[in-house]
Amino acid sequence: MGGTEKKLLRALAGETLPVPPVWMMRQAGRYLPEYRATREKAGSFLDLCYTPELATEVTLQPIRRYGFDAAILFADILLVPQALGADLSFVQGEGPRLSTVTSAADLARLKPAEAVHETLAPVYETVGRLREELPSETTLIGFAGAPWTVATYMIAGRGTPDQAPARRLLYGDPATFEALIDRITEATILYLSAQIEAGAEVVKLFDSWAGALPGLWFRRYAIEPAARITAALRAKYPEVPVIGFPRGAGAGYLAFADAAGTQGLALDTSVDPDWAAQALQPRLCVQGNLDPLLLVTGGDALVRETRRVAEAFSGGPHIFNLGHGITPEADPRHVEIMLETIRAPRQ
């Protein structure tokens, strides 16, 4: 496998490294001119996701440019709902649009979880290509959206500020809501299993809207599905770590660390690194959590805050990352400065 030489896998196994492994969420994206050129060539965002040659190319672009310690598969969390039978499109400047699931009748029209492979086969081909083409020291990360976050889009048909449509279904028709979460969870286990079979060495669960779950429901719909997915994957692939990202969880990060079973925990920008180093890092490898806006503004603040995050987590297993995805407005040169700061010898 050669896994022991890969810094990201070493950190996820609990090793404290003198220089942490580094990658960025959305590192293959619109801040890079080479990405924009490939995206134009693809014709549409979904065509880019489903064309293995082009999806492989955009995944490799930030590795060539920056030498990150990990590459994350280029795809989208909403490919799973599409594979389950939802209509999906992306509106320029406005984001995704999906057909909605708001009743038992809507749920009955979805495909069974096992049907996802038919639609998602090109994604698995991309994973296989990447595993062959990545440098030997670079870890390949697969991913999926966590069930609650995927459900919020399937219920509302789009992103919403507070996920009120999903919460309304949870309260008003709990049987349908629960069945939808179960369907997504089953599909996600199958999807991530296939990514691992194709060559993914780590998988990540993005629960981007975990913070919108009321506290009483966070354990049931953020932690429990993550625990179910992680347990199923670890039973089949014990050597493949799972990173959880319950963004916006606040105090819920502690419960997630204790109960979800993941080997890594990604932290959003709101989490205080000093608190996380004391409360979370003794339990598992933490990932994060520089503010992405610093890659737009640059300057002394970028260097200072990069050092602060790296130093706060220097006493335990840590993967340096952002607290959310890099934005299209980020300056590629600022990414270089961030990496130089992280990798500079400590004084």
- Give dist(CA 247, CA 180) in Å, integer: 21
Q: What is the pLDDT of residue 300?
A: 98
Domain ranges of the chain: 3-343
β-pair partners for 287: 266, 319
Q: What is the pLDDT of residue 347?
A: 56
pLDDT one-digit tens code per residue, 215-244: 889 999 999 999 999 999 999 999 999 999
pLDDT one-digit tens code per residue, 303-322: 999 999 999 999 999 999 99
pLDDT one-digit tens code per residue, 29-83: 999 999 999 999 999 999 999 999 999 999 999 999 999 999 999 999 999 999 9
Q: What is the DSSP letter of 219?
A: I
- Give dist(CA 245, CA 180) in Å, integer: 21
Q: Select from 229, 250, 223 the least CA-distant residue to 144.
A: 229
CB contact at 8 A, 16 and 281: no
- What is the average pLDDT across 258-269? 98
Q: Inform me whether the pLDDT recorded for 2 exceeds 80.
A: no
- State the CATH class of domain 3-343: alpha beta
User: Which residues are known to be catalytic?
Assistant: 26, 30, 39, 76, 153
- Three-class SS of residue 269? coil
